Structure 1
Amino acid sequence: MADPISITSLIIEVGRIIASLMNYAKAVRDSRPDARKLSEELFALKGILEHISAQSEPLSKSEELGLSDPEFLANALVRTNETLQSLLFDLEEPVSKYKRLKQKLEWPFTREKFNSHLIRLERVKSCLILVFTSDSNALNRDLHDKLTDLATSLEENLKVRNDERISTAHRDLCRWLAPSSPTGVHLRASNARLDQTGKWFIDTIFKEWLWGHDIYQQILFVLGKSHAQGVAFGYFYCSFGDVASQDPKNILGSLLSQLSESNPSILESIWPLYEAKTNPIVGRYPVDIADIEDAIIKHMSGDQPVVLLVDALNESCQSENIKRSFMRMLSKLSNLRILLTGTTDMFSCKHASIINVNSTIIKDDIDTFIRFTLQEDAMLKNLDSKLKDQISETISQGADGSFRWVQLSLESLSSLRTVGKIREALQTLPGTLRETYAGILQRIPASDWELSRAAFLWLSFSNRSLTLDELNEAVVLGETSTLLDEDMRLVSPGILLEICQGLITQDEVGNVNLAHASVKDFLTSEWIRSSGVQYFTLDPASAGKYLMRQCLNYLCLDNFRSGYVHSIDSILERERKNSLLQYAAHFWASHSESRNFDGRDHSIVNKLLSSRDLLRCGNYGVWVQTIAPDIDVETIETTHPLYYAASFGLVSVVEAIIESAPDIDLDAPGGRFGSTPLYVACWRGNHEVVDLLLQAGANPYRPDPSTGLTVFFLPQRPKFVRTKEILSRVPVKQIHSDSPKGMLSESPRSDTSPQPKRRALGDDIKGQKVESDNYKGPLDTDIGQRAFGSSSALLPSTIPTLEKFLAQVMELYPRLEPTLAQRLAQEQCRRYERLAGMRQKHAQDIINHSCRSARHCIALGGDAASTPHRPESMSSQGVGSPSALDFPPGVPLPPVRSLPAQFECPICFEVKKFQKPSDWSKHAQEDVRPFTCTFPNCRDPKTFKRKADWVRHEMEGHRRSEYWACSFPECGLTFDRKDNFIQHLVRQHKLSEPKIKRGKPFLIEQLVPPESNIETLWEIVEQCHREEISHEERCQFCGDILRSGRYLMVHLGRHMEELAMPVLEMVNQSVGS
C-alpha cells in the first residue's frame, strides 16, 4: 500500500514545479507555450495524485483500497518522483549570480529535453491510471454488494414504516367503528367468574347449538350470563349506566371490529366509508348500521363459523333496532350464530332457541359462589365450619336462582360483628330480592332520604354517567334555590356512597352508577308503591321533566348572573367551580317533552331566555358559551332565543315566542354561521318546529350563508323524511329577491326537482351521498350545519370580493390568525380570477373558432380520444369507467366515459392525456392550486401546484423536522436542506465536490486541503445531521391535535382542498359553462 504522506509530498513538489514554470512564463518571452504544455501535464498529474491520496484514506479501519498489485503502484510513484526531481533539477535556481541572471533570461530546456520531459510525464500518468483501471471491476463488484445491502435495508425499513402506518390507520378505524369498547366490562366479568361455573351451559347446550345447522336455531337467547368461543367471534356488553353501550351503531361496530381480527378483509368495505365520513370540522360521522350489516354479510359468508355474543340486550333502549339487524344478517349467513342474554324474551321460538335460566339449572353455580365467598370474605372466613354450612344451606335454599339476592345476603351477613347477630340474621333473611332492597332502603336514616332519593333519580334517568362531583351538586339543588353556595354543599365528597348503602357505586374512572340494573327496576316497580319504602318510588313518566327543571334551575342560579366571559381560561375555571354546569347546559332540553310544557315549565324557560337582557347576557350568555365555548361574544349578543328554541325542538317555547312577539323576524340569522331558525330546525330534524315556523311565515327559500343552499336541499336521509314531507307542502312561489342566482323558481315538491351541483362535506368523500345520521353532541346546534355544505360556503350570486372571501374563511375557521385568514382570502380571490380568466378566454376562442384544443374542443363539437393502456397502469388504479368514488372531494368528473383517454380539460382547456383517475385528480388540483403556506410570517407565501412542493416548503422552511449544523470551528451555520449544506462545505470549507467532473480522459476530484486534517465530506454531512423530536401539534384551522408534523400536513392539506376546490363550482355558476 502506498504511503499517503509520500503521495502528499509528490503533490507539493508538483505545486513547486508549476510555480517555477509560471515564473519562467512571465520572465522569458518565448517560454510561454512550452510552460503551458508542461503545466497542463503537471496539473493532470496532480489530479491523479490527489485521487490516489483520497482513495488511500479508508472510511473505516475495515475499509481499504483494494489493489491487485500494490507493488506496481509503489514503482509507479517512484518513477513519478524521479520524473519530478529531474524537472526540479532543471528548474532549480543556480548558486552563482551570473547563472541566476542567465536563467531568468533564457529558457532552460532544449527542444529535445522538453519533449523528453513530456514523454516521461505521459508515461507516469498512464501507469498511475492503469493501476486503477485494472481494479475497477473489483471495486464495482464491492460497490454493487454494498448498494444491494443498502437497498435491502431500505426496503426492510420502508416495510416497517408502512406496517406502522397501516397499524395506526387500523387502530383509528377500529376506534371510529367501536367508540364504546367492551374490554373493560369483559375483564371485570371474567375476573368475577369462578372456575367450574357455567359448565351446564358450555359443555352441552352451547356446543349443540354452535354446531347445529337449523337456520331457525341460529339465535340462542339466554336469560342470564354465559361465555363462549368460536373460530370468528365478537362480544359486547350492554349497560344501563352507559348510554354509549346501548347504541346499535356502537354495538355492531364493536362486533365488526373484533371480526376483522380473524378476517381483515372485512375492513375493505368499511375503509372507503371511514374516509368518506371525514370532516375537518366535526371529525368523522359515525358509521351507518346498514353499512356494518353489509360488510359482515359480504365478508363473513362461507364455511367459517361466526359467533356473536351480546350480553344484557334488555338494558339497551334500542334493542328492537339491534334485533332487526341481527335478523337481517341471519337471513343471509347460514354460518352465523348469535348468543344473546337478557331478562325478558325478545325472540319467538320460531327464530331462536330460548333457554330460561331457572334455579334448578344454576343451583351448582350458586353453591360454588357461596362456598367461595365463605372461604375468601375477610369476615366470613373466620366462622366455624358448622356455621358456614348453615349459612350455605340457608342461602342456597332461599336463592331461587337469583345471584344478586345471594350476593346481597352474604354482604349483609359479612357486615355483622358477632356470631349471634349472624345466626339471628339467618332466621330473618328477606325472601326475595325486592324485600332485600326494601330492607336496605329502610336502613337509610330518614334525614338522608331526600338526598338518597335524588341520587337514585339522577342515576336512573340521566342521559350520561355522572361524576361524583356532578351528583353532589345535583342532589343538594332545591326547586326554589337561587344560589348555590358553600353552605349548601355536602361536607364530604363521598358521603352519598355511604348514605345509599351500597346501592350506588363509583367506577375506576370516577363515574357513579347504580350498583345493578335491578335497583332501577325495583325503584320503578309497582311493588314499591305500596311498600314501606314507597317514598323512594321513581316515576319514569315524570322523571324527565323533573331533571329538565332541575337543570334549568341550576342554569338560572345567581352564580351565573354575571354572564359570559372573554377567555377560554375563564370558561374552564367556571366549569371547574360548577361541576354540573356542563351537564345542565347540554342536556336540559333533551330531558324535556316540549309538547307537555305547563305554566311552570314556560316560566323557568322564559327566565333563562329573558336573562339575555342582563349585562353580558346573564345566565343566557353562560348557557350559550358553555355549549359552544368557541363562539364569539357578538354572536351571543345578537342571536335571538328563537334560534336555540328551534334548534332544540322546543315546540311550546317556539309557539310562545311567536305569539308574544308577532313582529319578530323569523329569518333573523343566529349561531356561529348565521343560519335561520327554520334552517337549523330542518337540519336537526325538528319537524314540528319546522311546521310551526312555516305557518308563521318563515322563508324556506332563503339560502343558508354557510352552504349557499336552501332547506329544500337537505340530504336524502331517514332523519329528514318527516321534514321533507312538510317542505313538500310549501306552496309554489317565485324566487325571492334575495334568493341566490339559479335558485328554483318553484317549490321543489317533486322528486324530479333539480339538485345543486355542489357537494357538502357531509357527502361521501368520493362524491356520493352517505345515508346516515350525523353524530353531534347533545345540543351542538351549529356544528351540524357547518358540516352540511361547508365546502361550498359561498353563494352562487356572491360577488367574489376580498371581503366576501375573508368572511367565508373566518366563518369556516374562526380559529385562524387574522394574517393567515387574510392570505387565504387573497389566494381565493386570485384563484377565482385565474380560473374565471381561463374560462372567459376559452369562451372568446369558441366565438372566434380559434380554440387550441381543435378537434378535442367539446364546445365546438369535439370529443375525447381513447389512448392505449400503459403496462404500469393496468395493475394499478382504476382504468375503465371513472366514477365519483375515484376522486377526492371537489374534483369534478372527467368528461369521458373511460380512461385512459386524451381530452380537453374543462378547467384549463388544455388537451392532456390521462391514464388513470389519479392523473386527472392531480391535474385538477394543479389547475386550482389549493395549497398555500400556513405560516403567517412566511417570506414567500405563494400557492403551490403540487402538494409535495407545499409540504417540502413547510417542512424544510418552517417546521424544520431536520437540519444540518456546521461543525467547523467558528462557523455554526445551520441549513434546512442537505444540498445547501453540501455546497456550504465545498465553497466555504473547501471540501471535495461530491459531483464527478467530466471532460477529461480520467476522473478527477478535489482533495481536502492537507492542513484541514478533517474527515470526508459525507462523514461530516452525517455527523452534522440533526432531527427534531416529533411532538403533538394543533391544527390552526379546527383545533384538532395531531401527533406529529407529518400527520398535521395531511390534515392541513384537506382543509385547504375543502376551501379551494369549491371555487371551481363558483366559477362555473358565475361565469357560465
Structure 2
Amino acid sequence: MAEKEDTGLAYFYFDFNDGYKQTLEGLLLSITLQLASQQQNRPEEFELFCDRFRSGQQRPGVKDILNVLLAIVRHFQIVYLIMDALDECCEQEGVLDLIADLVQASPSINVLVTSRDSTDIRIALGNVLTNVVSASLDGISLDIRTYVRNSLSRDPKLRARPNHVKSEIESALASGAHGMFRWVECQLESLRSCLTPASVRKTLNSMPKTLEKTYDMILARINPDYQGQVYMILQWLAFCVRPLRLPEVAEVLVLKPGTSTLSEQDRLFCDCDVATIGSGLIRISDVNEVRLAHYSVKEYLMSDQRKSMPSPSFHIAEIPTNCYIAHSCVTYLLLQSQFGSPSPDSFLKLPLLDYAAAHWHDHARIALRAGDHSEHEIHTKDFVDCTIQLLDESRGLAYLNWLRMSDPDDWNRRDLSKGECNVPRSLYYMSFLGLYDMAKKLVDRGDDVNARGGQFGSALQAAAFRNHCDIIRLLLQNGAEVKVQGGLHSTALNAAAVNGSKAAFRILLEQQGQKEITGSTLVAAAASGAMEIVNMLLDNGEDVNFQGEDPENHTSILAGNAITAASFQGHEHI
C-alpha cells in the first residue's frame, strides 16, 4: 500500500514505557516525518519548517507540526494513519481532538485506532469514526492457545517437559485466560520454576483467577530483603521519561535522595540481578532497556486497592513518585560536582548522569504541580531546598556542570567545555522550565529579575514564550521590565504573541499598555495564527503593513510583515 506514490501510510504506537511516545507532539512528529519520507518532492511548507527549526534555537509547537502535516497530506490521493494502543496515551484528549480535526480537514485521511474499550474514547470518536470492531473472545482464545503452544515449544525450560505435562499446561491456561494474554504470561513464568509433575499440577490448581490476584501473588513472593529495592525500581520505571538502561536502573538502588554519597552496600554484585529481584514485574530487552512488563503493572500499582493495603503496599502515585525521582536526580548531580568538571568518562562511572541532567526538571514540573503537593509537604520542601543548592552559582560547579551535560535552553545539548560566561542565571532557567517554586525561592533571595542572558534574553521573555503565567506575574511583581529589548523575539510581548500564548499576552499587555505596542507584535501574532491576539492588535489600530526588522536574526519571522509571517506559517485564516 505504502509503495504507491499517491498513497501515504504512517503508523504510531503509544508506548507506555516511553514518555515521549505517549504525547501528542510525539505522534504528530512521527507521522509527519513518515509521510514526508514517502514523497520524492516534498512540499515547500516542509522545507521551510526544516529551515526554521534546524538550528535548534526554537522548538516547533503542535500547531507548527500540524500545519506541515496537512500540507504533506494534500500531496497524496489517500492517506492511512494507524494509531495503536491509544488507551496508553497520557494526552488522550489532545489526540482525540487531533483525530477529529484531521478527519474534518481532509477527506483523503483514513484513521485506524486500536485501544482497549474505553467509554471516553468511544464518545470522543463517535462522530468521526465510521466503524467500531470489537475483538471476538473466541478469536482471542484461539490466539492464546497458539501463544501457549509456541511458548511451550520454544522456552528453554518448558520445552523439556514431557508432552502430557505440556498438554495439561496448555489446556489449563487456555481455559483460564478469559482473553488475557498477560495473565497467561504470568502463569508461564510461575510454571518455569516447577521441577516435578506434582509441582506443575499444584501450580495449575492454585492459579489466581484474575490478573490483579496474580500481581498480588508476585508481590507476596518478593524476598523481604529486596522489597525496598524492588519498590524503587518500580517507581522509576512507572514514570521515567525515556526507557532506562540496565546500568541506570542498577544505579538507582544505591542512590538515596538528599545524601552526599552513594550507598555502595546496596549495590548489586551484577546489574543483571535487577531481573532476578523484579521477576514477573519488569522486562529487559535485547538492547538492555528495562521496562515494566506490561501497562497493567502500572495500573495495578497505582490502584486504590494497593493504596489501602498494609505495608509494604508497593502503591505508587504520580506526585510523590515524581518528587522522589526528581530529588534523586538533583542529588546525583550534586554528587557528580564533588569530582570536578564532567568528562566523557563521567557518564560511564556515573551511569545515571545523562538521565539526571536531562530530565530532573521534567519530573520536578509534575512533582510541584500547583495545588497537588500539600499532602507531601515535607518531601517537597526537602526537594526544593536540595534543588536550590544545585541552582546556587556561587557554591561550586554543580550548576555549571548540569548545563554542560544538558542545557534545556539549547535542546538539552551536551557541551562539556561550556564556560560560565555562556550560561544564563538560574532564574532564567526556572522561568523557562516553568518551575514556580524554584523561581520564587530565587526571587526571594534577591536574584536579578532583569538579568540578561539565554536565547530569549531575559527570564520574562522565556516565561512569556512558554506561557508560564504564574512566573510572569511573579517577575512583574518584583520589578521585571516589560519593554526591555533583546532575545530571540525582541520583547516579552512578542514572545507571547509568536507562540500564541494568549493568557501570557493579556498579562503583559495590561502591564505594558496598549499605546506602547510596536508593529512587530502584530507580525509575531500573525506568525502564531492566534486570531484572538491578532484581532486585539488590529482593534488597537496596529499597522497591518508594518515592516519589521530583527537586528539579532535577519531570517527571523519578525523581519517581515504580518501577511508574510502568516503565509510562512500557513495560516490562511489570518
TM range (shorter): 0.7 to 0.9
Residue of 442, 452, 476 corresponding to 1:694? 476
The question of whether the paired residues in 2 share the 8 Å contact of 1:612 and 1:620 is answered with: yes
| SS of the residue 1:424 aligns to | helix
Mapping of residues 204-603 of structure 1, within 5 Å: 232-259=8-35, 267-268=42-43, 270-282=45-57, 285=60, 288-295=64-71, 297-301=73-77, 306-334=79-107, 336-345=109-118, 346-348=121-123, 349-352=126-129, 353-357=131-135, 359-484=137-262, 486-530=264-308, 535-557=313-335, 559-561=336-338, 565=341, 570-592=342-364, 593=368, 595=370, 598=377, 601-603=380-382
Pair 1:756–1:617, CA change in 2 (3 A): farther
1:94-139 deviation line (CA, Å, top 9, x unaligned): xxxxxxxxxxxxxxxxxxxxxxxxxxxxxxxxxxxxxxxxxxxxxx
CA shift at 1:237, angstroms?
Answer: 1.5
The question of whether the paired residues in 2 share the 8 Å contact of 1:277 and 1:765 is answered with: no
Structure 2 distance, partners of 1:410, 1:731, is 67
| SS of the residue 1:513 aligns to | strand
Structure 2 distance, partners of 1:653, 1:282, is 24
| SS of the residue 1:722 aligns to | helix
The size of the alignment, in residue pairs, is 525
TM-score of the superposition, structure 1-length normalised?
0.45
The question of whether the paired residues in 2 share the 8 Å contact of 1:647 and 1:680 is answered with: yes
Q: Which amino acid aligns with 1:295?
A: A
Structure 1 distance, partners of 2:10, 2:386, is 50
2:428 corresponds to: 643
Structure 2 distance, partners of 1:677, 1:550, is 26
Q: Which runs of 5+ in 2 are unaligned?
A: 408-414, 523-532, 569-574
The question of whether the paired residues in 2 share the 8 Å contact of 1:276 and 1:764 is answered with: no
Mapping of residues 63-102 of structure 1, within 5 Å: none
Pair 1:307–1:363, CA change in 2 (3 A): same
Pair 1:708–1:455, CA change in 2 (3 A): closer
1:631-658 deviation line (CA, Å, top 9, x unaligned): 743337x854333332322222333333
1:678 corresponds to: 460
CA shift at 1:465, angstroms?
Answer: 1.7
Mapping of residues 609-628 of structure 1, within 5 Å: 609-610=388-389, 617-628=396-407
2:549 corresponds to: 758
Structure 2 distance, partners of 1:713, 1:412, is 61
Structure 1 distance, partners of 2:537, 2:208, is 67
Matched, 1:703 2:485: yes
Pair 1:541–1:324, CA change in 2 (3 A): same
Structure 2 distance, partners of 1:382, 1:473, is 36
Pair 1:657–1:314, CA change in 2 (3 A): same
Matched, 1:634 2:415: no
Pair 1:701–1:270, CA change in 2 (3 A): closer
Pair 1:295–1:415, CA change in 2 (3 A): farther
Q: Which amino acid aligns with 2:399?
A: Y
Structure 2 distance, partners of 1:750, 1:333, is 31
| SS of the residue 2:10 aligns to | strand
Structure 2 distance, partners of 1:494, 1:256, is 38
Q: Which runs of 5+ in 1 are unaligned?
A: 1-209, 211-229, 771-882, 888-1073
Pair 1:507–1:317, CA change in 2 (3 A): same
Structure 2 distance, partners of 1:484, 1:332, is 55
Residue of 481, 490, 494 corresponding to 1:713? 494
CA shift at 1:537, angstroms?
Answer: 1.2
Structure 1 distance, partners of 2:279, 2:478, is 54
The question of whether the paired residues in 2 share the 8 Å contact of 1:766 and 1:885 is answered with: no
Q: Which amino acid aligns with 1:609?
A: I
Structure 1 distance, partners of 2:112, 2:556, is 36
The question of whether the paired residues in 1 share the 8 Å contact of 2:258 and 2:328 is answered with: no
Matched, 1:726 2:507: yes
Structure 1 distance, partners of 2:29, 2:361, is 28
Structure 2 distance, partners of 1:279, 1:289, is 14
Q: Which amino acid aligns with 2:189?
A: E
Structure 2 distance, partners of 1:576, 1:631, is 18
Structure 2 distance, partners of 1:538, 1:711, is 40
CA shift at 1:447, angstroms?
Answer: 0.6
Pair 1:660–1:720, CA change in 2 (3 A): same
| SS of the residue 1:699 aligns to | coil
Mapping of residues 857-868 of structure 1, within 5 Å: none
Pair 1:743–1:380, CA change in 2 (3 A): closer
Q: Which amino acid aligns with 2:429?
A: Y
Pair 1:292–1:314, CA change in 2 (3 A): farther
2:571 corresponds to: none
Q: Which amino acid aligns with 1:238?
A: F
Structure 2 distance, partners of 1:674, 1:337, is 40
Identical residues among aligned pairs (%): 26
Pair 1:242–1:701, CA change in 2 (3 A): same
CA shift at 1:764, angstroms?
Answer: 5.6
| SS of the residue 2:229 aligns to | helix
Pair 1:658–1:254, CA change in 2 (3 A): closer
1:654 corresponds to: 439
CA shift at 1:670, angstroms?
Answer: 3.8
Pair 1:512–1:644, CA change in 2 (3 A): same
The question of whether the paired residues in 1 share the 8 Å contact of 2:496 and 2:502 is answered with: no
Structure 2 distance, partners of 1:536, 1:599, is 20
CA shift at 1:613, angstroms?
Answer: 6.6
CA shift at 1:420, angstroms?
Answer: 1.5
Pair 1:470–1:504, CA change in 2 (3 A): same
More RCO (CA 8 Å, sep 6+): 2
Structure 2 distance, partners of 1:373, 1:599, is 49
The question of whether the paired residues in 2 share the 8 Å contact of 1:678 and 1:690 is answered with: yes
Pair 1:733–1:886, CA change in 2 (3 A): closer
The question of whether the paired residues in 2 share the 8 Å contact of 1:279 and 1:762 is answered with: no
The question of whether the paired residues in 2 share the 8 Å contact of 1:608 and 1:620 is answered with: no
Structure 2 distance, partners of 1:293, 1:743, is 27
1:357-383 deviation line (CA, Å, top 9, x unaligned): 353342222222222333333333344
Say what the alpha-carbon RMSD is for the aligned residues. Answer: 3.8
CA shift at 1:341, angstroms?
Answer: 1.1
The question of whether the paired residues in 2 share the 8 Å contact of 1:442 and 1:533 is answered with: no
TM-score of the superposition, structure 2-length normalised?
0.79
Q: Which has the larger radius of gyration?
A: 1
Structure 2 distance, partners of 1:547, 1:479, is 8
CA shift at 1:698, angstroms?
Answer: 0.9
